[in-house]
C-alpha cells in the first residue's frame, strides 16, 4: 500500500474518510494479531474495545466468489483447515477455525458487525477483486473503506468499479519516491501512502517522501510498527498514521502524546 501524486478528482469516499478522524490514524493490523487471533472477530472486537476505529485486514476470494477475511493464500498456517482458499467454496472455508476456535469471517460480516469502523482492505489476489467489489456493492460500505493492493492491475480494477478511496500500489509508490527525490511531478489516483519503513536497503519513510506526499494533500501510514521507540520516532518525523500488531502499545504511545482521539 502507498501513494502520492498530482491527484485527480476527489471521490466522495476520500472526503468522508477525512471527516472526524481526529488527526493521527491508529490502525490495528490484521485486527492486532499479536494480541488476538489475526483477522478474526475476536481480534476486531478487541481493537474496538480499546477505542480503535481503523482496522487493517486482508481479502481473499473463494471458488464461489465470496470475499473472506484471511491473509494467506491457504488455510494451513492460521487455521485447522487445509487448502488454497481460491480453490475452496465458502461452505468448505467456513468450517475452518483460526487458532482452532475462531471462525473465518466474510467481508460483509465484518462490515456489519462493526458499523463504526473504517476498514483498510488489502486485496491479495485476482480472485479477491470481484468478490470484494460484490461485497462492498451489496453492503454500500465504500465510504468507510480504503482499498490497497500489491498489484497495480488489481487496484486499477477496483478503482474502475467502485467510488472508493485507495492507497497507492507499489508502482505508484516508486513513482512518488522518484518524484520526491528529483522534484518531478507525478499523478497518482490514490489518497494514502501506506508503506513499510524500508524495502531492502531503500528507506521509504524519509523527509523528502513525507514532504512530497503532504504537499499533494496525502497521508502517509507506516506498517507494521510494534516497538514504542520506533512509534515515537515516526510520529516525530511527521507520519500521519501507524499500523500495529500490538494495538494496546500503540494506544499507550498515542495517549502519552495527546494524539489518541478515537
71 noted as active-site residue: yes
Contact between 106 and 66 under an 8 Å Cβ cutoff? The reply is yes
Q: 194: which residues sit within 8 A by CB, 6+ positions away?
A: 1, 2, 3, 120, 148, 167, 168, 220, 221, 222, 223, 243
Listing DSSP states for 93-135 in one string gives: HTT-EETTTEEPPBHHHHHHH-TT-EEEEEE-STTHHHHHHHH
Which of 46, 70, 71, 214 does the annotation list as catalytic? 71
What is the distance, to the nearest Å, from the Cα of residue 130 to the centroid of all Cα atoms in its chain? Answer: 18
29 noted as active-site residue: yes
Distance CA(253)–CA(262), nearest Å, equals: 14
Question: Number of H helices and number of E strands within the chain?
Answer: 10, 13
Q: What is the set of active-site residues?
A: 29, 71
Amino acid at each position: 500500500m502507498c501513494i502520492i501524486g498530482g491527484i485527480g478528482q476527489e471521490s466522495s469516499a476520500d472526503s468522508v474518510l477525512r471527516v472526524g478522524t481526529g488527526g493521527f490514524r491508529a490502525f490495528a493490523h490484521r485486527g492486532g494479531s499479536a494480541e488476538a487471533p489475526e483477522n478474526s472477530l475476536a481480534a476486531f472486537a478487541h481493537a474496538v474495545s480499546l477505542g480503535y476505529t481503523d482496522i487493517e485486514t486482508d481479502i481473499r476470494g473463494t471458488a464461489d466468489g465470496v470475499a473472506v477475511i484471511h491473509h494467506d493464500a491457504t488455510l494451513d498456517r492460521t487455521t485447522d483447515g487445509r487448502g488454497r482458499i481460491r480453490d475452496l467454496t465458502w461452505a468448505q472455508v467456513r468450517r475452518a477455525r483460526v487458532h482452532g476456535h475462531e471462525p473465518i469471517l466474510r467481508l460483509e460480516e465484518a462490515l456489519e458487525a462493526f458499523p463504526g469502523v473504517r476498514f483498510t482492505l488489502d486485496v491479495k489476489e485476482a480472485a479477491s477483486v470481484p468478490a470484494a467489489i460484490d461485497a462492498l456493492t451489496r453492503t454500500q460500505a465504500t465510504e468507510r473503506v480504503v482499498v490497497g493492493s500489491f498489484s497495480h492491475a488489481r487496484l486499477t480494477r477496483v478503482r474502475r468499479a467502485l467510488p472508493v478511496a485507495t492507497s497507492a500500489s507499489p508502482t505508484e509508490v516508486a513513482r512518488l519516491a522518484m518524484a520526491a527525490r528529483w522534484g518531478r511531478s507525478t499523478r497518482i489516483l490514490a489518497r494514502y501512502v501506506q508503506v513499510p519503513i524500508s524495502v531492502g536497503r531503500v528507506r521509504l519513510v524519509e523527509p523528502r517522501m513525507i514532504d512530497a506526499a503532504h504537499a499533494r494533500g496525502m497521508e502517509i501510514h507506516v506498517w507494521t510498527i510494534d516497538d514504542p521507540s520506533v512509534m515515537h520516532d515516526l510520529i516525530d518525523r511527521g507520519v500521519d498514521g501507524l499500523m500495529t500488531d500490538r494495538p494496546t502499545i500503540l494506544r499507550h504511545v498515542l495517549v502519552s502524546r495527546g494524539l489518541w482521539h478515537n
